[in-house]
Structure 1
Amino acid sequence: MVSAPIPGGARAKARCDALGVAPYSDSDTGLFRAYLTPAHAAAQEAIGAWMVGAGMVVRLDQAANLIGRYEGSQADAPVLLFGSHIDSVRDAGRYDGPLGVMLGIEVVARLNEAKRRLPFPIEVIAFGDEEGSRFPASMLTSRAVAGTLEADALEVADRDGVTLLDALAAFPARHAELVSASMARPLDVPAGGEDGSWTLKRVQGDGFLRAARTSGSVLAYVEPHIEQGPVLEAEGLAVGTVTGIAAQLRYQVTVSGTAGHAGTTAMGLRRDALTAAAAMILAVESEALAAGGDVVATVGRMAVGPGAVNVIPGKVEYSIDVRSGDPAARDDAAAQIVDTIADIAERRDVEFNIERVQDLPAAPCDPKLIALMDAAIARCGQRPRRLVSGAGHDTMVMAALAPTAMLFIRCAGGVSHNPAESVTDADCAIALDVLTAFVDLLEHDVLA
C-alpha cells in the first residue's frame, strides 16, 4: 500500500493518486475501476485501512458499499453520512468520487486526533456503482441505501453477460469488524486481525435490497466532489455550495436492419442499421441544441454488430443521456428526440426499440444545510458561491432518504471524466477546513 504521510487535504489528494494505478485499476493503460471487480476490491481494502487509521470501524453493507463508522456520544442518534463513489468511467481522472470519500475520512481523522465525540455518529460511505460503467443503470448502490431501488432493477447483466447478482455473490470483498487495537496502526498499513489481515467474506446477492436505511436514521448526507465544470476556476474560488442537481433521463436504443455482403448489396437496397443510427445520433445533438437553455443530450456508448469490415451492420445499440435543471425542459427535449428517431427509422426502413433505463428527477439540496455550508465557507475566509450541478451524483438519490448537501471543489479547466482531471493540495485543504467548520455548525444546530 502506498504511504501518504502528510495529513489533511494534501493526504486526501495523495490517496486518490495512489488509487489511480494498478491494482486499483482494471486497466493497464489508465484508470478504470468498475463495480465488483478486482480493482474495486483492492480499493476497498486500501480505503478500509485508512478508515481504521482514522478511528473508524469498517463494514460492508449488502450492496457491497464500504462504510466506516465513528461513534458519537449518542450512539443511537441519526448518523451524519459523508460519502461519494469509488467506481470510475473508462480512462478516468483520479478525483471524481474518491476525493469526497478521502475528505470525509480526513474530517473523522481530525475528530479522532482531538479525541472528540459529537452528539451523533459519523459514517463515511464509499458507494460502488455511481457511474454505471459496468451495468446499464447507474447509482445502483446508493439507490439501494436510499431504499428507492426496485427489485427488477437487479435483473441486469454486464457486456460479458455476467448478471449483477452473480457478480455480487462472487465478489471477493474483504469485510471486517475491526478491533480498537488496530487503530494504532500507521495509516499506510492494512488493519484487521492480529496479523494485519482482513476476514474474507462474500456478500450475498439475494440481500442487495437490505442495504436500505430506515427513515430517520440519517441526519444528513454530505458529498464533497470536484465541480466538473469551469465556474469556480473562472471566478478564482476554491469551493462552492451546490444548491441542487439537474434532472436526468437515460435510454437504451436498439436499431435493427439487415446484415448483408458489403460488395454485393446495392446501396438502394440496404437496411443499414449503422447509418440509420448515425442519423439518429446527429438528431440527438440537433434537438438538444434546438431546446436551448441548459438542456444537454449525449450518446456515450455504441455497439455495432456483426462488426466485420465486409458486412453491412445489421444491429446497433447505443445510449442516450438527456439532462436539464428544468424537468419540463428535459422531458420536452427527450420526447422530441424520441419522435425524431421514430421518423428516421421509418424513412430508412429499419426497426428500433427505445427503453428508458433511468429517470432521475431534479434534486434540490436542503435549504438549511445549504445555509450551513455557505456559513462554513465564509468562516474559512472565502465568499460563498452557489452552483447547480449538471452532473449527476449519489446526492440526488440520497435526497429521498435524508437532507442533503454538496461542496464543490475547483477542478482545473473544468475537465472531468478524463485523465487530465486535476485539483490542488491547497484547494483540498480549504475543502477540508470548510467541511470541518460545517460539522461544527451542524453540531451547534443539533444541540440548539
Structure 2
Amino acid sequence: MSQGRPEVIAGRLLQSVSDFAAIGATPAGGVNRQALSIEDRTARRLLAERALARGFTVFQDDAANLFIRREGRDATLAPLLIGSHLDSQPTGGRFDGALGTLCAFEVLEAFSDAGVETDRSIEIVAFTNEEGSRFSPGCMGSMAFCGAGRVEDWQADDPVFADELKATLQALPEAEIRPTGHVVSAFVELHIEQGPVLERENVPIGIVTGIQGTKWLEVTFSGEAAHAGTTPLAFRKDPMAAAAVAIARMQEEIMPADQEARLTIGRISTEPGSINVIPGRVAFTIDIRHPDAAALAAIERRVKEQCHAAGRRWGCDAAIRSRLDMPPARFAPSVTAVIADTCRSLDIRSRTMVSGAFHDALYVGRVAPSAMLFVPCRNGISHNEAEFVSDEHIVTGARVLLGVAQRLSQGQFHGSG
C-alpha cells in the first residue's frame, strides 16, 4: 500500500464537533449529555457507526469504556491509546471531553485517508463518567481501567448506576465486551484548558506536565434546632454561625497565602431548612487543590483546625469526612517531550503547564506513560454552556495530536516515565 502524508481535514473535524454538539443540545448552546444517559448512548452509537463505516474495530469493556481500534502492522506491540470522554455536565459545554475524543477519531481517519500503516495499533477511548455529575465518583471509567475502582462496588452502591450501565452496554450489541483493563504503550489526551492562561498569553498549545492534587471534604456542624425569635445568643448552638465563621476564615487565609492553592465551597445544606428555625445541622463540601503534595496536606490540616475551632466557638460538634483524596500526578517526560518536539516541527508555539482540573489521564498515567495537551478556551470558561473553542485552535490541537500519534505509534517508542 502506498503511503501518503496524513493530514487533518478541518471541515470534517469541525462538522463532527457540530454533529456531536447536537446530541443533548441545550437552548443556550451547550450540551446536557450526562453519563450513561440516553443522550450519552446516542453519542456512543454515532461514534461507533462512524468507526465501523471506516473499517475500524469497536469494543467495550465491563465499565462501558468505548474503544475504537485501527490495526497496526505488528500485533505483538501494545497499542497507543488516545481519546477522552463524551459525557458532560448538566449544563456543560460542547467541547469538554468530546473535543479530545473527536480529534482522536480524526487522527485515525487521517491515517486511513493517507494509507499509513503504523507499527502499533492505535485505539481511541471514550471513558465512562469522567464528569461525575450524575454518578459518583467522577473518572469512573479510567479508574476501572487502571484498577483504582471496581465496577462491582459502584453497582452495589447505586442500583440506578447498575441499570444504566447495563442499558448502555446493551445499546451497542455490535461492540464486543472485553474485560476491563488492558496493556497500552502510552496514553495522550487532548482537552480544552478550562482556564485563561493559554488565551491570555496567546499560546495555542499547552503541554501538560502534571495534574494538581485534589482533596474533597464534607464538613457537618451539628448544633441544636431552636426558635429563631425566642432563643437568646447565650442559649444558641448554631451550626450556621459555625459554618459561616469557618468558611470566612478559610477564604481569608488559604488562597491569599499561596497563589497555587485552590479552595472552593461547592455545596451547602441545612436542616430543617426553615426560615424561622435555627438549624440543627449544617453540612458543606470543600474542594482543595495544590500541585505539591506536602502543601496540599498542610492546607487540609489548616482547614480541619479552622472547622473544629469554629465548632467549639458556637457549641457545635464538627465532623469532617474525606470524600476524595487524589495526590498530584506527574506525567511521563518521555511523552511530554514528544508533544514538545511535535509542536516545534509544526512551528506551533507551546508552553508547559500543570492542570488545575483532574482528567482521565491522571488515572491512566498510573499504568502507562501518559500526558495531555491543552487548547485555549475563550475566557477560560468551562462546565458552562458558554464554553467556546475557536475553529483555529480545534484544528491546531488535532494537528499536534496527529503528529504525536505518528511518533508514539512507531515500534521504537518505549516510554517508561
By the TM > 0.5 criterion, same fold?
yes
Stretches of structure 1 lacking an aligned partner (at least 5 in a row): 1-6, 179-200
Q: 1:163 to 1:352 in 2, by over 3 A?
A: farther
Secondary structure of the residue that 1:125 maps to in structure 2?
Answer: strand
Q: 1:386 to 1:275 in 2, by over 3 A?
A: same
Q: How do residues 6-405 of structure 1 correspond to structure 2 at under 5 angstroms?
A: 8-20=9-21, 24=24, 31-149=31-149, 154=154, 164-169=161-166, 171=168, 173-177=170-174, 210-213=179-182, 217-405=183-371
Amino acid at match of 1:74: D
**Contact 1:379–1:437 (8 Å) recurs in 2:** no
Measure, in 2, the Cα distance between the counterparts of 1:36 and 1:273. 38
- More off after superposition, 97-106 vs 421-430: 421-430
Q: 1:425 to 1:329 in 2, by over 3 A?
A: same
Amino acid at match of 1:138: G
Q: How do residues 430-445 of structure 1 correspond to structure 2 at under 5 angstroms?
A: 430-444=396-410
Q: 1:428 to 1:171 in 2, by over 3 A?
A: closer
**1:309 Cα deviation from its structure 2 partner:** 3.2
- More off after superposition, 78-87 vs 301-310: 301-310
**Contact 1:24–1:42 (8 Å) recurs in 2:** no
**1:76 Cα deviation from its structure 2 partner:** 3.9
Partner in structure 2 of residue 4 of structure 1: none
**Contact 1:250–1:322 (8 Å) recurs in 2:** yes
Measure, in 2, the Cα distance between the counterparts of 1:153 and 1:347. 40
Secondary structure of the residue that 1:218 maps to in structure 2?
Answer: coil
**1:401 Cα deviation from its structure 2 partner:** 0.9
Q: Deviations over 1:52-77 (max 9, x none)?
A: 34442222211112221112122342
Aligned residues: 406
**1:82 Cα deviation from its structure 2 partner:** 0.7
Identity %: 33
Measure, in 2, the Cα distance between the counterparts of 1:42 and 1:268. 59
**Contact 2:86–2:97 (8 Å) recurs in 1:** yes
Measure, in 1, the Cα distance between the counterparts of 2:333 and 2:219. 38
Amino acid at match of 1:211: T
Partner in structure 2 of residue 184 of structure 1: none
Amino acid at match of 1:393: H
Amino acid at match of 1:175: L
Amino acid at match of 1:296: R
Measure, in 2, the Cα distance between the counterparts of 1:87 and 1:317. 28
Aligned-residue Cα RMSD (Å) equals 2.8
Stretches of structure 2 lacking an aligned partner (at least 5 in a row): 1-7
Higher relative contact order, chain-length normalized (CA < 8 Å, sep 6+): 2
Partner in structure 1 of residue 3 of structure 2: none
Secondary structure of the residue that 2:412 maps to in structure 1?
Answer: helix
Q: 1:275 to 1:141 in 2, by over 3 A?
A: farther
Measure, in 2, the Cα distance between the counterparts of 1:32 and 1:255. 34
**1:342 Cα deviation from its structure 2 partner:** 1.0
